[in-house]
Amino acid sequence: MKSLKIWSLAVVLLMAMVGCKPTPGPGPGPEQMGGFDAIEKEWKLVSVNGVANEFHVYISFDQGTFALFQQLYTLDFKFYDGTYSISGGKLTGEYFDAGAWKCGYTGGISEDGNTMTLISDDDQAVKCIYEACTIPDEVRNEAVNGTRSVEVVPFL
């Protein structure tokens, strides 16, 4: 079992090292996305720049706060939380103990409320697609029980 975890970690790290940041591909156009009015629910990351992700990121938004659960560059889920705001169609946030998000995001929620598109506003835009979900209890329990992280870079 330990060998499997080591190999899994090696594969994740290898993928991270060879990945590139292409310009976001086609996706929902402005006419198919609303703003972030319906953001207050739980979401699971399903693709980055049109490619299905090999890691797990869950995020919930509720009344100006967010909770982020990620299994990225580690075998265990890590937990982060903080506040978010929406201004002028741009989503930004700040971690309670790790500073601001890496960047702001444009995009929005699909008309049916089941898909959230976040497009980073940095020089090489990254397009992330999330689907509405229920964050599994196992993820919440694993991430909150002693795995809050300051040494692993948060996804957002």
Give, in order, the Cα–Cα distances in Å from 51 to each of 29, 45, 58, 76, 116.
Answer: 18, 11, 17, 22, 15
- For the stretch 103-116, pLDDT in tens is 999 999 999 999 99
In contact, 69 and 140? CB cutoff 8 Å:
yes
**Which pLDDT value is given to residue 133?**
98
- For the stretch 86-134, pLDDT in tens is 999 999 999 987 789 999 999 999 999 999 999 999 889 999 999 999 9
pTM of the model: 0.74
